[in-house]
Chain A
Amino acid sequence: MDILGLSSGELGSGASLVRDGALHACAREERFTRQRLDPNPPRFAAEHCLRQAGHPAAGLSGIAVAGDPADRFTRVLTGTLGQGFPLMVPAFVRSMSAWIGHHLWERDSLSRLLDVDPAAIQYRARHRCLSAAAVQGSGVDEAAILVVDTIGEWTTTTIARWKEGGAPEDVERFEYPHSLGLLSAAVAMLLGLRPWEGLAPLWDLAAWGRPTLTSRFRRVLQVHEDGTYQITPGFLRFAELFEPPYGDPWTGAFTDLFGAPRDARRPWPFRAGEAPAVVDTEDQRHADIAASLQVVIEEAMLGLARRAKAKTGAAHLCVAGALAGNASAILRLRREAGFASVHVPADPTGLSAGAALLLAAERGAPLSGRAPQPFGGRAWPAGRDLAAVARMDPMWWQRFRRRGTAPVRDARIEVTPELDDDTLLAQVVADLAAGRIVGWLEGAFESGPGGLAHRVLLADPRDLAVARRLTERVTGAAAFAPTTLLTRPEAVAALVDEPAPTAGWVPLAAHASAAARAAALTAVHADGTLRYLPVDAAVAPRMAALLDRWSASTGAPGLLLADLREAEDPLAASPADALLIFMRTEVDTLVLDQGLVRKELP
């Protein structure tokens, strides 16, 4: 039984194929279109899933789409008419234009895209899809589920219960405008970040601030003793975030509390792995806003988790939605919520996978907590690009390296099309030890939002200069954001105080041990936590072998991990994408399956 799941929207669109209840293929549209968080209907991702299925859409047992358009439409109408009338004209016009222009005809356009009867397309509520996605990889057979998201149709937060074999059952729902995700998006915008892409940087920034403004946030977000919460009316107009280009989602009362929006051009003075230099009061105040929000968000999520425990009596908790990416909040749930384990799936906003799993469960294919294959995307042959790059002019590519990087005479690109694993890994270890940044592309790309072991950048975690070069000259990520330590499961116990049990490919956070602080300097965040990802040798044997060789050779507990991408772009998909990153940035060595490309700068 093959079920295709589709999703689109502000957190990016995607497609997944579930075969007999297990995830068979899964891809985000952004990987194919090269537009980060591409919200458009997932044409190319669906094509990929159907290629993997081996038959056209007519051969599917079902097609499930995340998000009920009728419910979404009533929420949009109510939200734009009921908040800030008559000031919401632009938001109303934007929303209605988008609905009249395409959202209302989504079923027809999807049926044309897939060449199926419109009646074959079934909609499932967004939060029910996220609930189904939440249990993936948990390794348990019953759990409470907490979905804390930006917005669904009306639902913003859900408590559900699940037992292996069945579909998740909703226990309680919190509805718009009471949304922790939208509050976070509004604060991200206030701090000069983009609303959806800015959520992760916002939480990373929190570690650099002091929670001096929590009492002000408690006026905006009321967290009650019983675990419920409420956004106080009069501070925020979330309808401004329904359709791009987004307006200001706050009122004068909100800016009276937190000040005017930050100038987006202003650089932040905080750098991961380094003690802060002299910090301007304005910068510190903005970091304090992030830290204060973090405190109240943690309180709200903790209250919700305890409420979930009380309502379901479950021993385990699975968390999904946009706020499941808040590593500090998840760490607090692990310690204080009273569950034996707290699980976050590899893709906590995996709506398309959730939609397909949910429909499959409804049709009798049992939903289980087993770990899905983390590399469900498309693979390309690398040989053609290796042959092409060997013919490119070495002086020519230097022109396109990042601004501020001077061309070097006698620079050349050395291409080795095919190496055995032994030689290739030895060369990569030598390069890493010499302070080179290594790009790594292998097989199919990751199903989830970030690079895990097939589309990654690697560097020596002990070298502050190389970590800085990685951020400033390659990824363009916020300098204050911590990087993740890629390591082996055996090394984790020595790195963190309380290792989190995990059954999937999920980057984790825990308080760093003294040994980790000494050995993996640049991966330790300002709040003393370490972000780490244990590599399972059964799923990524080459990466596990590389880590083993690296540790044996240098004594370091792992490698610095970053996504193989530049700041405004999504994760690299094809070898050609990886080569463009290699040539445009200061990636020094690039592994393309069995091939090796190295820059030789005299």
Chain B
Amino acid sequence: MLLRRAMIRLGVPLLWRRIAQVQAARLLRFGITEKDSEWQILHALDDVDDPATRARVLQHALEESHHAAEFTRVSLNVAERLPPKPLPPRAPIYETGSGVEGLAGFAAYANVGEVDVFEQFDAYAAGIGPGEARSVFRESKLDELGHVGLTRAILDELVPDKRRADWLVTKVRLRRAWDVWLRFGKTLGEINTTLVLTALYLLAGLLFGWPAWRRLVGEKR
């Protein structure tokens, strides 16, 4: 997390403030991440019948939905061109029908996720200049702090044994650390792939570009 904060503090002055398109894309990504949180909550909610719990979780989903809308709105006001809108496949953290055990795992995952998001929003709110984006980061980070408490409270209700609840949180932290490592490897792989494909494109273009062009132009209809 410290490394991520340092990267944000270093990267924001270099890229964020100078390139509007980078700002827009990043803000929209935050919007998409918040939307995914909302979706994960509503997906898990399908298995919750108690009205009081549903009300609390719906309120949480409503906050995430609000954050998603705000990040999306601000992202569209930053740059002349619309930012790219990635639509990754949904991977539910809670699988429908997995009962209290599954819901406890989901609550632990959500708790760790909220802590991480709070840290990120805090770093961005401190790193970027004044403007709409900063106020959205500031407002959202306060909500995320509330979510940290809410998800922990739900986890404690589902798993009354504190040591077991802590162990669930630790397991999620280890899993997320592993995910970060995998993402790092994936990024390196993507850089390699880009280099190899660029070379392949230039070679294939020299060899087959002309026949391909003829195929396209020769096709009258």
B positions within 8 Å CB-CB of A = 35, 38-39, 42, 45-46, 49, 51-52, 54-55, 58-59, 61-63, 65-66, 69-70, 72-73, 76-77, 79-82, 84-90, 190, 193-194, 197-198, 200-202, 204-205, 208-209, 211-217, 219-221
Could you give 14 example pairs across A and B, Cβ below 8 Å? A33-B90, A78-B216, A81-B213, A85-B209, A92-B197, A92-B201, A100-B193, A389-B58, A391-B55, A393-B59, A403-B70, A576-B45, A580-B61, A584-B62
Chain B's nearest CB lies how many Å from the CB of A221?
A: 12
Chain B's nearest CB lies how many Å from the CB of A19?
A: 25
A244, B86: Cβ atoms closer than 8 Å: yes
Instruction: Report the nearest A residue to B87, measured CB to CB.
Output: A35
- Tell whether A82 is near chain B: CB-to-CB under 8 Å: yes
Chain B residue contacts of A38, Cβ below 8 A: 87
A40, B58: Cβ atoms closer than 8 Å: no
Chain A residue contacts of B35, Cβ below 8 A: 34-35
Mask, A241-272, CB within 8 Å of B = 1, is 00011100000000000000101110000000
Please name the 10 residue pairs, one residue from A and one from B, whose CB atoms are nearest each other, closest first: A245-B84, A82-B212, A388-B54, A387-B51, A40-B89, A391-B55, A81-B212, A82-B213, A388-B55, A400-B66
Chain B residue contacts of A178, Cβ below 8 A: 219-221
Say which one of A209-217, A227-235, A365-373 lies at the interface with B. A227-235
**A97 and B58 contact, Cβ closer than 8 Å, known pairs A86-B202, A400-B66, A577-B42:** no
Partner of B62, one of A93, A387, A397: A397
- Tell whether A502 is near chain B: CB-to-CB under 8 Å: no
A79, B216: Cβ atoms closer than 8 Å: yes
Chain A's nearest CB lies how many Å from the CB of B154?
A: 15
B216, A261: Cβ atoms closer than 8 Å: no
B198, A89: Cβ atoms closer than 8 Å: yes
Mask, A156-188, CB within 8 Å of B = 1, is 000000000000000000111110000000000
- Tell whether A352 is near chain B: CB-to-CB under 8 Å: no
11 additional A-B pairs beyond A86-B205, A403-B73, beta carbons within 8 Å, are A77-B204, A96-B201, A97-B193, A229-B221, A233-B216, A261-B81, A263-B80, A389-B55, A393-B59, A403-B70, A584-B66
- Tell whether A385 is near chain B: CB-to-CB under 8 Å: yes
How far is it, in angstroms, between the C-alpha of A174 and the C-alpha of B221 when the chains are bound?
5
**A584 and B215 contact, Cβ closer than 8 Å, known pairs A35-B87, A92-B197, A97-B190:** no
Partner of A400, one of B55, B65, B73: B65
Tell which of A77, A229, A388, A390 has the most Cβ of chain B within 10 Å: A388
Chain B's nearest CB lies how many Å from the CB of A336?
A: 22
How far is it, in angstroms, between the C-alpha of A264 and the C-alpha of B81 when the chains are bound?
6
A positions within 8 Å CB-CB of B = 32-35, 37-41, 43-44, 77-83, 85-86, 88-89, 92-93, 96-97, 100, 174-178, 192-194, 228-230, 233, 244-246, 261, 263-265, 384-385, 387-393, 396-397, 399-400, 403, 566, 568, 574, 576-577, 579-580, 583-584
How far is it, in angstroms, between the C-alpha of A80 and the C-alpha of B87 when the chains are bound?
23
Chain B residue contacts of A261, Cβ below 8 A: 80-81
Partner of B220, one of A230, A244, A389, A397: A230
How far is it, in angstroms, between the C-alpha of A77 and the C-alpha of B216 when the chains are bound?
11
A384, B51: Cβ atoms closer than 8 Å: yes
How far is it, in angstroms, between the C-alpha of A568 and the C-alpha of B35 when the chains are bound?
11
How far is it, in angstroms, between the C-alpha of A584 and the C-alpha of B72 when the chains are bound?
15
B69, A566: Cβ atoms closer than 8 Å: yes
**A576 and B72 contact, Cβ closer than 8 Å, known pairs A83-B216, A230-B221, A387-B51:** no
Partner of A265, one of B46, B61, B77, B204: B77
A194, B212: Cβ atoms closer than 8 Å: no
Chain B residue contacts of A576, Cβ below 8 A: 42, 45, 58, 61
B209, A82: Cβ atoms closer than 8 Å: yes
A97, B197: Cβ atoms closer than 8 Å: yes
